[in-house]
Structure 1
């Protein structure tokens, strides 16, 4: 890693902490990030302890698995238990529905398979006569991959449970809550590479919130 970006040096880390404290306002500032990787990094390295008391970094809706509706999980479990091959990402198998998780359904005999992409589910469908259902979750980073499969002559025995989400509407929903007190957003890196800056323009324009 470039030394300029390394925080393993305690002297540099302390200097950055002092700079943040010097620049921080004396009124409360709440910065909301919308990325699971951001939260993992912040927590792993204990970055919140470097922030002055007036600055708070809050975790927003950064995990598409965590915000998947129970009804979608229930539908996936029902389909799997009826005999279809249910393909989804590994994290999704452990999220509980009304009655059980997909992992529990698999333990009960359902054919639930962990895949890395919709393309892998399509490959499974091309090599079987059984119905294959891909449980698609994720934000703008995974949605195009699901769409690409559906637009490229997919196997007739392949179906998709579409449970993809969009980040900007979720951000707007938080700002529309009364007394939300959000001062700024820290945009998700991977999603932003896909969608660019334009979808974020309403936040400073309409809400006065920087991103």
Structure 2
């Protein structure tokens, strides 16, 4: 199966997001979201480069799904524009429609702020006709990470492993993807090793 498709899952946030080049030096706009690992204030933008460039914008709109209110984002990649949705509940971040190659109704919980380092959470979905299991683990918290020459503080490192369930057996896809989330900014780097990486190039938080 196509490993790259799993590697780039919701890197397109859904990716969920964010680097500083055209950001105003005035820190006041970020004050309201300084405790948040994925701001959703209207007009906030993130531009990503690397192996799968895209841009993300928080529209300020919302959508109710199963009685819960999600924030809307718009992702542009090449000539394609699509919508994705984010739910934040007590430090738990869940996205819908973050990967254009997947069904728009697939929901992924990609970050849990309060989960201890080393502890994992799991999620299963049917993706492209395969029963798929994703294992997310907090590798480190409150670290410093430099991406494209900019240093971010209070970063959470999450690693995701993907496996496929076939005939009741769990088969490792061999892909480990590392996500780095900066407080008050969002996703600053998606690193899939030899499969590529997507760094945050510029961002603006409103």
TM-score (norm 2): 0.26
Which is greater in Rg? 1
Q: Which of the pair is proportionally richer in strand?
A: 2
TM-score (norm 1): 0.25
Q: Which has the higher contact order (CA 8 A, sep 6+)?
A: 2
Q: Which of the pair is proportionally richer in helix?
A: 1
